[in-house]
């Protein structure tokens, strides 16, 4: 068994920060230390445990095989220590520390950011960091506690909790409808100008169903504008450039205000789900638990 008396455990915090930040400089900014001090901590840690952890070059910093294993163990150790401190300080499971949340840009802006502010007001010892992007977060590499994923889940090896339903509408601006007419049936859609979200596997393909149970697969053939973020898609639809397959949470207010109009309202797009995804661990941190519980309420789950 290793002699922990010879190891400065505070250096584990620095090591984990270096791995998650991706560089000594970024870790130094996150920790509020000088880069030279972070570098010294890493050199001393490697000396204390007797193995090399980091591979340094002029272009990037990467982990040795031993470093990858040591990072996973260190991250779990620090997480357990944080939970123990929280419980010891309060005598109960009160969320504390920084909650790092990942989310798609539109869902992060419209749903997650206000939710985190509400949690901050309820739990003053809780800090929040929201990382938004229309890509799949790497929870371990980015040090994210929990991320929100919309639609079908990929097999990631992480834990997941269903928090709500994901619904879509076909929408366009009133000016667009005035120019092109109001499509009432699926076969009137494919020829219309379409706005595509490029991060989807098949941006212009979707399935519609009516109350009678009739199902139609629609292939939009005239994509006139493509972008990689949902908020830009909404902006282009508001400008009148085309038909948009939009999440209901992102355009509900626009439809209610008349800025956008639902197309083929007798036909519905297939529903999917919203999930909260988090790394598997023996004990879910209380800060993650309260976030998921609050998200279920916000998402109608």
Least confident of 27-41, 92-106, 147-161, 287-301: 147-161
Please tell me whether residues 147 and 177 are part of one structural domain: no
Question: How many domains does the structure of the chain reveal?
Answer: 3
Domain holding 8: CATH number?
Answer: 1.10.10.10
Count of Cβ atoms closer than 10 Å to residue 284 Cβ:
17
Residue 273 has pLDDT above 70, yes or no: yes
What value does the mean pLDDT take over residues 282-291?
A: 85
HSE of 281 in the Cβ direction (CA atoms, 13 Å)? 22
CB 209, CB 268: distance < 8 Å: yes
Answer with the residue of higher pLDDT: 48 or 179.
179
Indicate whether 185 and 242 sit together in one domain.
Answer: yes
| One-character DSSP codes across the chain | ---GGGS-THHHHHHHHHHHHSSHHHHHHHHT--HHHHHHHHHHHHHHHTS--EEE-SS-EEE-HHHHHHHHHHHHHHHHHHHHHHHHHHSS----EEEEEEE-HHHIIIIIHHHHHHHHHH-TTEEEEEEE-SS---HHHHT-SEEEEESSPP--SSEEEEEEEE-EEEEE-HHHHHHH----SGGGSTTS-EEEETTSSSTTEEEEEETT--EEEEE---EEEEESSHHHHHHHHHTT--EEEEEHHHHHHHHHHTSSEESSTTEEEPPEEEEEEE---SS--HHHHHHHHHHHHHTB-
Task: Say which residue, 287 or 135, is predicted with more confidence.
Answer: 287
Q: What is the pLDDT of residue 58?
A: 61
Answer yes or no: do 192 and 281 share one domain: no
Say yes or no to pLDDT of 130 above 90: yes
Which residues lie below 8 Å from residue 252, measured CB to CB, with a gap of 6+?
Answer: none
Domain boundary among 88, 108, 132: 88
pLDDT digits (tens, 9 = 90+) for 211-255: 898 999 999 999 999 999 999 999 999 999 999 999 999 999 999
Q: Indicate whether 243 and 260 sit together in one domain.
A: yes
Same structural domain, 141 and 219: no
Provide the whole-model pTM: 0.66
Pairing status of strand 168-172 against strand 215-219: unpaired
Residue 138 belongs to domain spanning:
93-164+273-298
Task: Using the 3D structure, point to which of 29, 64, 88 is the last residue of a domain.
Answer: 88
Point out the least confidently predicted range of 2-11, 172-181, 182-191, 227-236.
2-11
Answer whether residue 143 shows pLDDT above 80. yes
Do 175 and 260 lie in one domain? The reply is yes
Q: For residues 114 and 190, state if they share a domain.
A: no
159 and 278 within one domain = yes
Minimum mean pLDDT range among 24-28, 144-148, 149-153, 172-176:
149-153
pLDDT digits (tens, 9 = 90+) for 196-206: 999 888 999 99
Task: Identify whether residues 151 and 174 lie together within a single domain.
Answer: no
Q: What is the pLDDT of residues 79-102, one digit of tens each?
A: 877 777 666 655 456 788 899 999
CATH number at residue 243: 3.40.190.290
Looking at the structure, do residues 172 and 266 belong to the same domain, yes or no? yes
Whether residues 64 and 128 fall in one domain: no
Q: How confident is the model at residue 155 (pLDDT cuts 50, 70, 90)?
A: low
pLDDT in tens, 101-116: 999 999 999 999 999 9
Between 289 and 155, where is the model more confident?
289
> Cα 53 to chain center, whole Å?
29
Domain boundary among 21, 54, 88: 88
pLDDT at residue 299 is higher than 60:
yes
DSSP code string of 33-49: --HHHHHHHHHHHHHHH
């Amino acid at each position: 068994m290793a002699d922990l008396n010879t190891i400065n455990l505070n250096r584990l915090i620095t090591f984990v920060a270096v791995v998650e930040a991706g560089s000594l400089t970024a870790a130094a900014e996150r920790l509020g230390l000088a880069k030279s001090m972070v570098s010294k901590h890493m050199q001393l840690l490697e000396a204390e445990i007797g193995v090399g952890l980091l591979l340094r070059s002029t272009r990037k910093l990467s982990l040795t095989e031993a470093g990858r294993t040591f990072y996973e163990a260190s991250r779990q150790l620090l997480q357990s220590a944080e939970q123990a401190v929280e419980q010891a300080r309060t005598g109960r499971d009160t969320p504390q520390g920084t909650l790092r949340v990942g989310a798609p840009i539109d869902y992060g802006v419209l749903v997650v950011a206000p939710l985190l502010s509400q949690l901050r007001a309820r739990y003053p010892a809780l800090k929040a960091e929201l990382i938004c992007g229309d890509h799949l977060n790497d929870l371990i590499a980015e040090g994210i506690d929990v991320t929100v994923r919309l639609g079908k889940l990929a097999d990631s090896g992480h834990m997941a909790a269903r928090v709500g339903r994901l619904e879509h509408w076909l929408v366009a601006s009133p000016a667009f409808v005035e120019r092109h007419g109001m499509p009432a049936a699926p076969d009137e859609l494919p020829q219309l100008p379409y706005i595509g979200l490029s991060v989807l596997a098949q941006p212009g393909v979707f399935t519609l169903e009516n109350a009678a149970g009739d199902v139609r697969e629609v292939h939009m053939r005239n994509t006139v504008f493509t972008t990689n973020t949902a908020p830009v898609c909404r902006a282009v639809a508001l400008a009148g450039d085309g038909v948009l397959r939009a999440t209901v949470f992102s355009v509900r207010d626009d439809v209610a205000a008349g800025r956008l109009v639902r197309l083929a309202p007798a036909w519905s797009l297939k529903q999917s789900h919203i999930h909260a995804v988090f790394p598997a661990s023996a004990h879910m941190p209380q800060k993650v638990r309260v976030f998921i519980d609050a998200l279920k309420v916000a998402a109608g789950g």
